[in-house]
Amino acid sequence: MTTKTIKSTASAGSIIPVLFAVVLGLGIITVTGHVQASTLHDAAHDVRHATGFPCH
Amino acid sequence: MMRRMTCATPPASPATKQMFGRILTSALFAGAAAGLIAALLQLFFVQPVLLHAELYESGELVHFGGEAVSARPDLPGLFDEPMRNLLSILFTMLTYTGYALVMVALMSQAERQGHEITARHGIIWGLAGFVTFHFAPGLTLAPEVPGVAAADVGARQVWWVATVASAGVAMWLIAFGGNLVAYVIAALLLMAPHVIGAPEPDSFTGPVPTEIGALFAARAFGIGMAAWVLLGAFCAYFWQSETAHAEATA
């Protein structure tokens, strides 16, 4: 009974770091691939073309 | 009994912290390694095609309407534009670290649902990631060589994000859905963005020869697939070793 309680608490708690990692990853992809600020765009220009992001 | 129950709840917090640490560590290693290899492959195989296209984009070279132009002009070498190429390496590594964070997080979730994650499984994960982030949007918004005509960038980004999201869900359903309904939904999700259609330019104004455009798209997809396969294998490998390390020190 006690074991069950611990298990379910642990798995309910550990979805948060998974979601946080996904959001962080998508955030990085958005900055390197999509943000159109001109400095960022120029720096990432070749990568955006080669990695299939819409560039300009 | 009550005492034991209350004691049992708090450890979830350190476990949660440790979980994020393991995802972050694995993703940083896998993303940096695969990103570096991807960047070098791109510099060697894709960049010369891009630089060639830029000669037509800038008007330095013109095909048709004049004398025949050599298909092998002098292009800047790998070390002629060090800052440009170093920035490309940095941004490729960052981008692949972003991909890795998403992939390792989903791997940890799949593992918790009872699926095995090994470096060999990682290869399939990598292919699924390639389809999701590169091939699915690229099927209609083909990898663009500089100078091609294209619709408004904001509209294309919206379509890109929607296509990646639906392809990602489709890949998960194909891998873990396990029944016909899931497969049918996955197929519909994969096809829908292309049936609806991506934003397209009103007219074609690209000055770049079609041979260069085709080679660029093929190279971008090929290098992308190779890099993603490595990324999948690395993510699974580092996730496994981080998990083994955590269990050994627990």
Does residue B87 have a pLDDT over 80? yes
Q: Give me the helix-helix angle, B119-130 and B153-176, nearest 10°.
A: 140
Could you tell me if residue A9 is inside a domain? Answer: no
Domain contains A4? no
Q: Is the pLDDT of residue B244 over 50?
A: yes
Mutate which of B1, B3, B37, B94 to test chain A, going by most A C-beta atoms within 10 A? B94
When pLDDT is averaged across residues B25-38 and rounded to a whole number, the result is: 98
Which pLDDT value is given to residue A14?
A: 76
Reported confidence tier of residue B206, pLDDT bands at 50, 70, 90: confident
Interface of A with B in 1-56 (CB under 8 A): 2, 5-6, 9-22, 24-29, 31-34, 36, 43-44, 46-47, 49-56
Kindly list the distances between the CA atom of residue B199 and the CA atoms of A56, B155, B187, in Å, as whole numbers in the listed order: 13, 6, 22
Residue B226, min C-alpha distance to chain A (Å)? 12
**What confidence category does residue B153 fall into, taking pLDDT thresholds of 50, 70 and 90?**
very high
Q: Is residue A5 part of a domain?
A: no
On the question of pLDDT at B77 being above 90, the answer is no
For residue A32, give the nearest of B9, B95, B141 by CB distance: B95
Q: Cα angle at B129 between B126 and B133, to 5 degrees?
A: 145
Please count the other Cβ atoms lying within 10 Å of the Cβ belonging to residue B118: 12
CA atoms within 13 A on the CB side of B93: 13
Mean pLDDT of B44-55: 94
Q: Is A3 within the bounds of a domain?
A: no
Closest residue in B to A28 (Cα) is B98
Residues whose CB is less than 8 angstroms from the CB of residue B163 and which lie 6 or more positions away in sequence, other chains included: B136, B137, B140, B193, B198
- Residue B63: the pLDDT is 81
A1 within domain boundaries: no
Given CA atoms B199, B205, B210, B216 in this order, what sign does their dihedral have? negative
Q: Which of A32, A19, A51, A21 is nearest to B138 (CA)?
A: A51
pLDDT tens-digit map of B90-134: 999 999 999 999 999 999 999 999 999 999 999 999 999 999 999
Q: Which two tokens stand for residue B177?
A: 């859905």
More confident residue, B164 or B18: B164
Q: ipTM surpassing 0.90, yes or no? A: no
What is the percent of chain B with per-residue pLDDT over 90, rounded to a whole number?
A: 74
Structural domain boundaries of chain B?
23-66+76-249
How many domains does the structure of chain A reveal?
1
Note the pLDDT tens digit of each residue in A15-52: 999 999 999 999 999 999 999 988 899 999 999 999 99
Domain membership flag for residue A47? yes
pLDDT of residue B171: 98
Please state the three-class secondary structure of B4-32 as a single string. HHHHHCCCHHHHHHHHHHHHHHHHHHHHH
Domain extent at residue A41 = 15-56
Among A32, A47, A48, A56, most B C-beta atoms within 10 A, so best to mutate, is A47
How far, in whole angstroms, is CA B132 from its chain's centroid? 8
In a domain, A7, yes or no: no
Q: For residue A13, is pLDDT > 50?
A: yes
For residue A50, is it within any domain?
yes
Measured in angstroms, the CA of B188 and the nearest CA of chain A are apart by 23
